[in-house]
C-alpha cells in the first residue's frame, strides 16, 4: 500500500470519520501540506502523529460528531422509525418541530426540484414524491441512508458526494437550493467562499440557514448575519428573513432584483 493511502486509512480509523469520502481526506491533507509547507515523507513518527491529530481535528469540525452507529441508523430506517433516525443528527434533531413550517414554505414557493447541499439527514425529513431531490454531502454513510430512504419511498433524485469548498459548474439545476447550517463551518475567515457558492448554485431561489443557539444551549445575542445581508444587498438579490426558535433562514431570490 502506498504511503498516502495508508495515511488516509489511518486518519479515517475513527468511528466518526469512517464515513468520509477519501477525496475529502485527500484534499484536507493537501491543504495542510500547503499551509505548513511540509512533505509527509520527511516527517519523523512523532511529527506525523501530530499532523494526523490536527487533520482529524479539522475533519471533525467539518463533519460534526454523532454518537449513533450506522448499524443502528439502518435499523431505524428499516423499521420506519423516521423520527428516531432524524434525531441521530444534531441538526435535524434541533429542527424537528420546524419541519412542518419548512414544508409549508416549500409548497408555497411551488418548487418541483430541490438541491440540498451539505444535506446531512435533512432530505429524509423534507423529501417527498412531489419533488425531484438532489442531495449532496461529504459523508458517505449519510448519503447511503438517504439513498436507501429514496429507494424505499420511490423518491426521484440523485444522491452524490460533493465538496462545497470546491464548488464548480457541475451541480444539477433545481428550483431551490438548501444550504442549511454549513456556510460558517466551511469558512472560518471572511466570506469569499460563501459569496462564490451563492453566486454559482444553479437555482433561482436559495434557502440558507445558520444556528442561533450557542453550543452552551443559550441563544445568541445577535442572531442576524449582517455579512450575508450586506452581500445580498450588494448583489441586488431580494431576500426575506425567517426565524425558528434555534435557527435563522434567509430566503433568497436571485432573479428578483431589488428596486
Ligand X SMILES: C[S@@+](CC[C@H](N)C(=O)[O-])C[C@H]1O[C@@H](n2cnc3c(N)ncnc32)[C@H](O)[C@@H]1O
Interaction of residue 181 with ligand X, rule CB under 6 A: yes
Assess 88 for contact with ligand X (CB under 6 A). no
185 binds ligand X (CB under 6 A): yes
166 CB burial (10 A radius; 0-12, 13-18, 19+): exposed
Sheet with 237-243, side-by-side order of all strands: 157-161, 132-137, 113-117, 176-180, 205-211, 247-257, 237-243
Euclidean distance between CA atoms 179 and 60, whole angstroms: 19
Candidates 73, 120, 127, 157: give the one binding ligand X (CB under 6 A): 120
Which residue, 134 or 162, is less far from ligand X as judged by CB?
162
Bridge-based pairing of strands 247-257 and 176-180 is: unpaired
* Grid cell digits, residue 19: 464515513
Stretch that binds ligand X, among 6-14, 60-68, 148-156, 226-234 (CB under 6 A): 60-68
Q: Which stretch in 4-12, 46-54, 144-152, 179-187 sits in contact with ligand X by CB under 6 A? A: 179-187
Which of 114, 119, 228, 248 touches ligand X by CB under 6 A?
119
Rounded least distance, CB 219 to ligand X, Å? 18
Indicate which single residue of 28, 88, 91, 195 sits in contact with ligand X (rule: CB under 6 A): 91
- What's the Cα-to-Cα distance from 71 to each of 21, 67, 78, 127, 165, rounded to whole Å? 18, 12, 10, 23, 29
Three-class SS state of 129: coil
State the nearest-atom distance from the C-beta of 62 to ligand X, in Å.
4
Residues 122-161 within binding reach of ligand X (CB under 6 A) = 122, 137-139
Amino acid at each position: 500500500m502506498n504511503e498516502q493511502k495508508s495515511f488516509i486509512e489511518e486518519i479515517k480509523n475513527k468511528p466518526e470519520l469512517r464515513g468520509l469520502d477519501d477525496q475529502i481526506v485527500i484534499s484536507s491533507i493537501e491543504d495542510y501540506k500547503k499551509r505548513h509547507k511540509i512533505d509527509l515523507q520527511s516527517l519523523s513518527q512523532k511529527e506525523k502523529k501530530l499532523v494526523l491529530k490536527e487533520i482529524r481535528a479539522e475533519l471533525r469540525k467539518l463533519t460534526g460528531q454523532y454518537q449513533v452507529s450506522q448499524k443502528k441508523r439502518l435499523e431505524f430506517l428499516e423499521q420506519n422509525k423516521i423520527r428516531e433516525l432524524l434525531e441521530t443528527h444534531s441538526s435535524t434533531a434541533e429542527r424537528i418541530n420546524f419541519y412542518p413550517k419548512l414544508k409549508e414554505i416549500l409548497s408555497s414557493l411551488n418548487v418541483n426540484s430541490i438541491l440540498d447541499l451539505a444535506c446531512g439527514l435533512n432530505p429524509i425529513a423534507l423529501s417527498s414524491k412531489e419533488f425531484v431531490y438532489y442531495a449532496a454531502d461529504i459523508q458517505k454513510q449519510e448519503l447511503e441512508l438517504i439513498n436507501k430512504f429514496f429507494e424505499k419511498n420511490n423518491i426521484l433524485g440523485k444522491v452524490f458526494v460533493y465538496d462545497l469548498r470546491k464548488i464548480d459548474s457541475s451541480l444539477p439545476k433545481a428550483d431551490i437550493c438548501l444550504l442549511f447550517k454549513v456556510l460558517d463551518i466551511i469558512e472560518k475567515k471572511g466570506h469569499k467562499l460563501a459569496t462564490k457558492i451563492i453566486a454559482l448554485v444553479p437555482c433561482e431561489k436559495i434557502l440558507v440557514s445558520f444556528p442561533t443557539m450557542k453550543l452552551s444551549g443559550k441563544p445568541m445575542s445577535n442572531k442576524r448575519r449582517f455579512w450575508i445581508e450586506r452581500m445580498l444587498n450588494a448583489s441586488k438579490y431580494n431576500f426575506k428573513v425567517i426565524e425558528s426558535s434555534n435557527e435563522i433562514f434567509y430566503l433568497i431570490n436571485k432573479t428578483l432584483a431589488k428596486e
